[in-house]
Amino acid sequence: MARIFIVFGTRPEAIKMAPVVKAFVADPAFETIVCVTGQHRSMLDQALELFDIKPDIDLDIMQPGQTLANVTTATLNGLDTLFSENRPDAVLVHGDTTTAMAAALAAFYRQIPVGHVEAGLRTGNLAAPWPEEMNRRFIDMVSRWLFAPTETSAAALQNEGVEDERITVTGNTVIDALLSVSEELRHDPDRTALLDKKFAFLDQQKRLIVVTGHRRENFDGGLERMCHALAQLATRGDVEIVYPVHLNENVQRAASAVLEDTSGIHLIDPQDYLPFVYLMDRADLLISDSGGIQEEAPSLGKPVLVTRDVTERPEAITAGTCRLVGTCTETIVAEAEKLLDDPDEYARVSAITNPYGDGHAAPRIVEAMKNAI
């Protein structure tokens, strides 16, 4: 059996790696060890519970007011000891978090081969997103196996000189996760009824806009401008806005300063993945700077306005399921109203096929690793 360490530390990583964990655990060719860092403690635990994943190792590094340097050094020190004691045949990391970067570095120092799930995403701008663009470039540089979600991300790697034999196009694992959770909701009326009750405050006669925002590059005024756009959209009277506000104090401050007690806008706590999928499915429109939402919403037929100036996920922009609108208040309002007020345009965007995969990314990753090892 090949010993595989799967390392992650945040909720988005947990969601996207859950199908990978389950696929490896089910394959007798591998001894799978799941290690979490706890970079995002409570939100990580929510995802682990939903997907019924019990980590073998929990570094539990989260500290109040932690910096990126704190996360990096705690992860690096913790994993260096573990890798020395367990000597895995390979380490799998996901995406572009500080946990993923530090785990790849720890493996590199121990000369353990790394597999990078969701490789090849690029904006070309180290400041946007920051520090994620640096993280993913570094991880791709030291990884032996690069699991690119799309042909576009594979081409980005090839343009940087990565050999073809190191690249496998798999689709995005978040689609695997989304489809499994959506299927669960469709076949569990009791759970759906509980969610209907949880969100009974929503007016079924109004169109629903679901919002998220957390990117660091938007902390310097961008979030406030987005919030002003939401306040303006709420005055239409025919829409209702739900904004699960990220726990980061910069996000909390911007949302409360602009939107607190605004009619038609509900500022709620961050949601577990299951209720958030429920909200996405009920939504008419999403406004977000989240990478995952750019990938997930098209599978549900939901348009997304991306509140960023650049994105490492150009496939959805090219396909037309997402629109890059930045954080200009007037632009966000104008683009939202185009979709809300033009039924033909809305129907056209909603019908576009999701460019991010078919829900079978995890089995492709397992098969590629089996062939390689």
Going by their DSSP bridges, the two strands 239-244 and 207-211 should be labelled as: parallel
Q: Which residue has the tokens 């992860």?
A: 75
246, 308, 323, 364: which one is catalytic?
Answer: 246
Are 256 and 268 spatial neighbours (Cβ–Cβ below 8 Å)? Answer: no
Residue 116, beta-bridge partner list:
93, 146
13, 132, 281, 284: which one is catalytic?
Answer: 132
96, 224, 284, 312: which one is catalytic?
Answer: 96
Are 27 and 57 spatial neighbours (Cβ–Cβ below 8 Å)? Answer: no
Q: Cα–chain-centroid distance for residue 50?
A: 16
13, 41, 116, 118: which one is catalytic?
Answer: 118
Question: In sequence order, what DSSP letters do the residues of 325-348 get, joined into one string?
Answer: -TT-HHHHHHHHHHHHH-HHHHHH
110, 191, 207, 214: which one is catalytic?
Answer: 214
To the query of whether residue 266 is one of the catalytic residues in this protein, the response is no
Q: Which residue in 205, 257, 264 sits closest to 230, CA to CA?
A: 264
* Distance separating alpha carbons of residues 10 and 362, to the nearest angstrom: 19
To the query of whether residue 132 is one of the catalytic residues in this protein, the response is yes
Going by their DSSP bridges, the two strands 285-288 and 265-268 should be labelled as: unpaired
- Helix, strand, or coil (residue 187): coil
Are 245 and 255 spatial neighbours (Cβ–Cβ below 8 Å)? Answer: yes
- The DSSP element (H or E) to which 17 belongs, if any, is helix 11-25
110, 216, 266, 282: which one is catalytic?
Answer: 216
Are 107 and 128 spatial neighbours (Cβ–Cβ below 8 Å)? Answer: no
Q: And the tokens for 325?
A: 């609108």
Summary count for the chain: helices (H), strands (E):
16, 13
Are 167 and 148 spatial neighbours (Cβ–Cβ below 8 Å)? Answer: yes
Are 153 and 131 spatial neighbours (Cβ–Cβ below 8 Å)? Answer: no
To the query of whether residue 96 is one of the catalytic residues in this protein, the response is yes
To the query of whether residue 186 is one of the catalytic residues in this protein, the response is no
To the query of whether residue 176 is one of the catalytic residues in this protein, the response is no
What amino acid positions are annotated as catalytic residues?
A: 96, 118, 132, 214, 216, 246
